Amino acid sequence: MKINKFLLHSSNIQRDSFIWNMAGSMLFSFQSVIMLMVLTRVLELREAGIFTLAFANANLFLTVGKYGMRNFQVSDVQRQFSFWEYARSRWVTTLAMLAASVVYLLYAARKNSYELDKSLVILCMCLMQAVTSVEDVFYGLYHQHNRLDVGGKIMTLRLAATILVFGAGVMLLRDLLAALLIATVCTAALLLVFVGTTYREFVQEDDPAQWENVWLLLRICFPLFVGQFLSLYITNAPKYAIDALLTDELQACYGFIAMPVFVINLLNGFIFNPMLYQMSTFWDERRIKPFLWKTVRQIGIIAAITFVCIAGAWLLGIPVLSWLYNTDLAPYKMELLVLLLGGGFLGLSGFLTTMNTVIRRQRGLMWGYAAVALLALICSEVTVARYGLLGAAVLYVFLMATLCAIFLGLFFVGIRKHINGGCVQD
């Protein structure tokens, strides 16, 4: 098949891995931006606010589906678990994701008096992200075999088609829910085709899968899941407070100015994701010096990206975002700059989470996320009720900075214990 040949062929794996990972990551990060651009030009601001909340909720429950396992899977250099054990665990977690999203939606709809259309949009968005959950375990398979290019191609093609179908659905039907339903069916069908034509190249026919290993894998990765779930809760805590206290229109405005926050994490991923397999190998071989050098360099890159993004937002952020979303965002310039500072801490916390996963300090990650999530739970509604959107932005920075401080300390403790254990090579 031509699609099979396109997905699997590469004349330069390293180059193609970088390019396709960048393309897929950009689409994944900007899919909500593009969808909102269409919505704000075709439908009302209320629908944009509903979409913003639905996307935040779906991404929160996506952490249940992914279970924080991708980086663990890629860094499983010794092949402790087979692919089908990873895959079976993903069927379990994706079903749990859907069940949890339904339970939460029933609670939130009653607590916040959601209208039926709002509830159905949130549910449909969770179904769409369940497809991403399934894709992720295959992406991990390709990455584990140093073929990040294959996963990047699949993600890029699937998301590009999904965004186009959604946009066409909104413009033709002028109905958010109908467009989401069609896009969800489209994205699931494409994943079946793309994965079905590629995964056999990387999986042995006799690759074993034992349920006892599946449950062991789920237990080992449980701290990673809790950490990732709480991470998304912490990120979305201001949005939940806005949903409870303010309007759908203000929710939309917060979503608009919060969009550039993820650019920093995205750019960091472009540079770091292709290096993850090499970093895992350094750690497995106890080559601490190159491991630490690349870690420090990446922290410097995150700081530089953050500075450039804040400077760019100061000059052009509000005019560009106002044009993108067809909404006057001039009153929110300070909130935008504060959120971008938080975006730098978000990128750093995500990187430190990955590094602590590589050195197998996932239990400490869980407790760090739990402590900051408790802070978010206590402070969110009080801060937003008193200071509005600016309070939400400052709260976001405080929570992300606290995470970074905890994870940096955890990382250095892990490195020190490893060095003291001996057998370290240059």
Each residue's pLDDT expressed in tens, for the chain with a length of 426 residues: 577 778 888 788 878 887 888 888 778 877 887 888 888 888 887 888 888 888 888 888 898 899 888 878 877 777 888 888 998 999 999 999 999 999 988 888 787 777 788 888 889 999 999 999 999 999 888 888 888 888 889 999 999 999 999 999 999 999 889 999 999 999 999 999 998 888 888 887 666 778 888 999 999 888 878 877 887 788 778 888 887 777 777 777 777 777 777 777 666 666 666 666 667 777 776 777 877 887 888 888 888 888 888 888 888 878 888 887 777 778 878 888 888 888 888 888 888 887 887 777 767 787 888 888 898 888 888 888 887 888 888 888 888 899 899 988 888 887 787 777 654 443
Strand partners, 425: 287
Looking at the structure, tell me whether residues 162 and 188 fall in a common domain: yes
Q: Nearest to residue 415, comparing CAs of 356, 333, 334?
A: 356
Looking at the structure, tell me whether residues 295 and 364 fall in a common domain: yes
Handedness of CA 416, 220, 74, 20 (dihedral sign): negative
The DSSP string of 165-193 is: HHHHHHHHH--HHHHHHHHHHHHHHHHHH
Looking at the structure, tell me whether residues 239 and 201 fall in a common domain: no
Residues 6+ apart with CB under 8 A from 362: 68, 72, 220, 221, 223, 224, 227, 356
**Residue 310: other Cβ atoms inside 10 A:** 20
Residues 49, 119 contacting (CB under 8 angstroms): no
Looking at the structure, tell me whether residues 373 and 232 fall in a common domain: yes
Q: CA torsion 178→180→186→191, rounded to 10°?
A: -160
Looking at the structure, tell me whether residues 83 and 151 fall in a common domain: yes
Looking at the structure, tell me whether residues 300 and 161 fall in a common domain: no
Residues 6+ apart with CB under 8 A from 191: 131, 134, 135, 154, 158
Handedness of CA 261, 265, 271, 274 (dihedral sign): negative
Q: Give me the pLDDT at residue 324, please.
A: 74
Residues 22, 154 contacting (CB under 8 angstroms): no
**Residue 249: other Cβ atoms inside 10 A:** 14
Residues 174, 42 contacting (CB under 8 angstroms): yes
Looking at the structure, tell me whether residues 138 and 182 fall in a common domain: yes
34-48 residues labelled b (16+ CB within 10 A) or e (exposed) = bbbbbbbebbebebb
Looking at the structure, tell me whether residues 12 and 129 fall in a common domain: yes
Looking at the structure, tell me whether residues 235 and 171 fall in a common domain: no
Looking at the structure, tell me whether residues 238 and 203 fall in a common domain: no
Q: How far is residue 13's CA from residue 244's CA, in Å, rounded to a whole number?
A: 48
Q: Nearest to residue 389, comparing CAs of 345, 332, 346?
A: 332
Q: How far is residue 123's CA from residue 178's CA, in Å, rounded to a whole number?
A: 12
Q: Where are the beta strands (DSSP E) in 14-74?
A: none
Q: How many domains does the chain have?
A: 2
Q: How far is residue 306's CA from residue 302's CA, in Å, rounded to a whole number?
A: 6
Residue 89 domain boundaries: 1-209
Any domain includes 354: yes
Q: Nearest to residue 12, comparing CAs of 22, 20, 3, 1?
A: 20
Looking at the structure, tell me whether residues 330 and 191 fall in a common domain: no
**Ranges of H-type helices in 174-287:** 176-196, 211-245, 248-258, 261-272, 276-284
Any domain includes 214: no
Task: Give the residue carrying structure tokens 């990455």.
Answer: 143
Q: Give me the pLDDT at residue 424, please.
A: 41
Any domain includes 218: no
Any domain includes 426: no
Total residues belonging to the chain: 426
DSSP label at residue 76 = -
